[in-house]
Chain A
Amino acid sequence: MPLIELQHLTKQFPTGNGFFTALKDITLSFGEGEFAGLVGPSGSGKTTLLNIIGSLDVPTAGSARVMGQPVGSLTHRQAADLRNHHIGFIFQTYNLLPVYTVYQNVEFALLLQKRNDAQRRTAVCDALEWVGLTDKMHSKPAQLSGGECQRVAIARAMVKRPSIVLADEPSANLDAENSHHILQTMQALNRDLHTTFIFATHDEKVMHYLQRIITLRDGVVENDQWHSPSPHQPPN
């Protein structure tokens, strides 16, 4: 059974004199352990689709089921629960909370799950170890490089062991070397933990790592292709 199932999904936004159709009749599904990407130019509907999969937005028509739950009919609390337990987010600008340490940034999602101290400590340490930042756990985001910040964001997304991670342009603010490092990290997590990663990107470096590339243009799926993951190449 797919983790994510989109059937004839349409999303419209009201404009001054009508509606703007951001997504049109999208039918897609994503299974466990996929490493897929939504690619396309700006305005093609990548982020809108990620928002609906992330239960941050609802479809205007059609259906979207994530972990078996209909996104369009969830209450605010149910949608929050879905995100809290099953979905991790990684952002282009990292979005770490600047006043908290690396450890506390990663720990936050677990506080929402009301896990006890020992469980949180183990999970946070594991997550920081996956991304190679154990020695930076007491640092503040301002003391980290861009690549390190994005690795903290990955640890924050992964610490609750979600089934799905949604990454919106995760490498856009990083140089080539750091981009490769974080993509390798995500690829390893995908392989080891069978977490489904869905990227929204137009970065060639990211596409190079994707197993499946879904091309969106003007809100419709133009192409949906499976690729073999490429060998990890060093950055130029």
Chain B
Amino acid sequence: MIGFLLIGILRDKSRSLLPMLVVGVGAMLTVFLHCWLTGIMGDSIELSARFATGHLKVMTRPYAAEAEQMPNELAIIGVGQLMDELSQTAPDMQWVARIRFGALLDVPDSLGETRAQGPVTGWALDLLSPGSSEAQRLNLASALTSGHLPQQAGQALITHDFATRFAVMPGHRITLMGNTMNGSLAFANFEVAGTVRFGSSAVDRGGIFIDLRDAQMAFDMRDAAGEVLGFFPKGFYVDATAQAVQQAFEAQHNNDTDEYAPVMMRLSQQAGMADYLAYANTMGSIMVMVFVLAMSVVLWNAGLLGGLRRYREFGLRLALGESKGHIYRTLLAEAVLVGTLGSTVGTAVGLALAFWMQTVGIDLSEMMPNASLMMPSVARAAITPPAYGIGFIPGLLSMVLGNALSGIGIYKRETARLFNELEV
């Protein structure tokens, strides 16, 4: 009997190929949209992580209390040793030291006199070490509007808007005026290697990027850094994993009574990120739920129509002596089979598309040259564990429920009425 029904499914394209295609497309769209939304929402968070918060951030206790003011006089001393320790605590993560600073940028004229001055927000990060992924992490190469990335000490990138406002070109000399770690005035000359634009007025208005060692020299911060950021290798923040790393770190430092002892904070614990994460999760869930519901209705109908279309066949099978219960069970078994196969194929295709979108992404930078929000210019999908199963909700569940509903008619109708579907 099973073989007989399988032959029927295989040969009757309207019972196999068509519903499988509908289910497959539905599951594929659901999986892809889920990954896409997760990626888009996650990318905004990741952008903040890359520029400011990291997935985890280590600071001294007093620095953490005033982190938004970037108080480098409270920076971590002995950052090399701390990074070694972090690499042992969480070897899978990438740990990088950074110094964020506020300073005044002086642009001299040809005689060396001040031609223009303006405040800048600075990022000092490891741009010159071989194997450093910092430039890639901040997507500096793509953000370049002129010149090149720093290739040696003493070179800096400045943001495009600032450069335009003060007529600064790659090759020009600039002077950074700030504070050393000890509160003295600090002056350092840099050559502008290139200009960058991120599409965010908050950064583009006045930003400078220099190598970490240049900043340590300029601000008298040998073996010191304001922050050590930790990043997950897959590039996406996972709060549970971050929590585990944080707990392991705290277990080593909880008894440290030093006023400047390091503390670790997760992304979700920093500057409003908890609210944003909750918002992103809620919005993502709502959008995916709406889509899943819509697809469920479509596939429910497909299952319903598929069942209704076969009332004539059911009438014949009743006439031949098959019981209503057996017909109903075979209808559901077929729905499970078609739903499972369709959902599996659809999920596989959806994941493949999502993987491609996760790897390549779509560059939207040309579509938003004047965007003032801090948002990623490349939209990417993100494959997360729920993506492997979410396609089965509309695919399998709706298909089976649709068929189950249409099949109830087998019981509700008089046998003779079903039989009359045969148009005898």
Residues of A bordering B, CB below 8 Å:
47-48, 51, 54, 56-57, 76-77, 79-85, 87, 89, 91-93, 95, 97-100, 104, 107-109, 111-114, 156, 168-169
**How far, in angstroms, from A98 to B415 measured CA to CA in the complex?**
22
Q: Measured between C-beta atoms, what is the minimum distance from A229 to chain B in Å? A: 25
Instruction: Please name 14 pairs of A and B residues whose Cβ atoms are closer than 8 Å in the assembled complex, sorted by A.
Output: A51-B416, A51-B419, A77-B325, A81-B323, A84-B322, A92-B424, A93-B424, A95-B422, A98-B12, A99-B7, A104-B7, A109-B320, A112-B322, A114-B1
Contact A111 B424 (CB under 8 A): no
Contact A84 B325 (CB under 8 A): no
**How far, in angstroms, from A124 to B374 measured CA to CA in the complex?**
75
Contacts of B414 in A (CB 8 A): 57
Contacts of A56 in B (CB 8 A): 318-319, 415-416, 419
Q: Measured between C-beta atoms, what is the minimum distance from B319 to chain A in Å? A: 4
**How far, in angstroms, from A114 to B323 measured CA to CA in the complex?**
14
Best-buried of A83, A113, A114 by chain B (most CB within 10 Å): A83
**How far, in angstroms, from A84 to B320 measured CA to CA in the complex?**
6
Contacts of A81 in B (CB 8 A): 321, 323
Secondary structure type dominating chain B contacts? helix
Q: Measured between C-beta atoms, what is the minimum distance from B409 to chain A in Å? A: 14
Contacts of B318 in A (CB 8 A): 56, 80, 83
Contact B12 A99 (CB under 8 A): yes
Chain B: CB-nearest residue to A162: B321
Contact B319 A111 (CB under 8 A): no
A92-B424, A99-B11, A169-B424 are known contacts. Are A108 and B419 too (CB-CB below 8 A)? no
Contacts of B419 in A (CB 8 A): 51, 56
A80-B322, A80-B323 are known contacts. Are A97 and B316 too (CB-CB below 8 A)? yes
A51-B416, A56-B415, A76-B415 are known contacts. Are A109 and B8 too (CB-CB below 8 A)? no
Contacts of A83 in B (CB 8 A): 318-321
Contacts of B415 in A (CB 8 A): 56-57, 76, 79
Chain B positions 322-378 with a Cβ under 8 Å from a chain A Cβ:
322-326
**How far, in angstroms, from A81 to B318 measured CA to CA in the complex?**
10
Is the CB of B220 closer than 8 A to any CB of chain A? no
Contact A76 B423 (CB under 8 A): no
**How far, in angstroms, from A76 to B325 measured CA to CA in the complex?**
9
**How far, in angstroms, from A168 to B423 measured CA to CA in the complex?**
10
**How far, in angstroms, from A89 to B415 measured CA to CA in the complex?**
14
- The interface bits of chain B over 34-47 (1 if a CB of A lies within 8 angstroms of the residue's CB, else 0) are 00000000000000
Is the CB of B73 closer than 8 A to any CB of chain A? no
Is the CB of B191 closer than 8 A to any CB of chain A? no
Q: Measured between C-beta atoms, what is the minimum distance from A154 to chain B in Å? A: 14
Contacts of B317 in A (CB 8 A): 108
Contact A91 B424 (CB under 8 A): yes
Chain A: CB-nearest residue to B321: A84
| Interface residues on chain B, size class | 20 to 34
Chain A: CB-nearest residue to B423: A93
Is the CB of B313 closer than 8 A to any CB of chain A? yes
Contacts of A104 in B (CB 8 A): 4, 7
Q: Which one of A47, A87, A95, A111 contacts B4 once the chains associate, using CB atoms below 8 Å?
A: A111
**How far, in angstroms, from A48 to B325 measured CA to CA in the complex?**
24
Contact A111 B1 (CB under 8 A): yes
Contact B8 A100 (CB under 8 A): yes
**How far, in angstroms, from A48 to B321 measured CA to CA in the complex?**
18
Contacts of A112 in B (CB 8 A): 1, 320-322
**How far, in angstroms, from A57 to B321 measured CA to CA in the complex?**
14
A76-B325, A76-B415, A111-B4 are known contacts. Are A97 and B424 too (CB-CB below 8 A)? no
Contacts of B325 in A (CB 8 A): 76-77
Chain B: CB-nearest residue to A92: B424
**How far, in angstroms, from A93 to B7 measured CA to CA in the complex?**
23
Contacts of A109 in B (CB 8 A): 320-321
Contacts of B313 in A (CB 8 A): 97
Contacts of A91 in B (CB 8 A): 422, 424
Chain B: CB-nearest residue to A82: B321
Contacts of A113 in B (CB 8 A): 321
Q: Measured between C-beta atoms, what is the minimum distance from B96 to chain A in Å? A: 64
**How far, in angstroms, from A149 to B221 measured CA to CA in the complex?**
95
Best-buried of B11, B321, B326, B423 by chain A (most CB within 10 Å): B321
**How far, in angstroms, from A85 to B8 measured CA to CA in the complex?**
24
Chain A: CB-nearest residue to B14: A99
**How far, in angstroms, from A131 to B419 measured CA to CA in the complex?**
25
Contacts of A114 in B (CB 8 A): 1
Contact A57 B322 (CB under 8 A): no
**How far, in angstroms, from A95 to B7 measured CA to CA in the complex?**
18
Q: Which one of A48, A93, A100, A111 contacts B422 once the chains associate, using CB atoms below 8 Å?
A: A93
**How far, in angstroms, from A113 to B322 measured CA to CA in the complex?**
9
Shortest 4 CB-CB contacts between residues of A and residues of B: A84-B321, A57-B416, A99-B11, A80-B323
Contacts of B324 in A (CB 8 A): 76, 80
Q: Measured between C-beta atoms, what is the minimum distance from B110 to chain A in Å? A: 88
Contacts of A168 in B (CB 8 A): 424
Contact A54 B424 (CB under 8 A): no
**How far, in angstroms, from A81 to B7 measured CA to CA in the complex?**
24
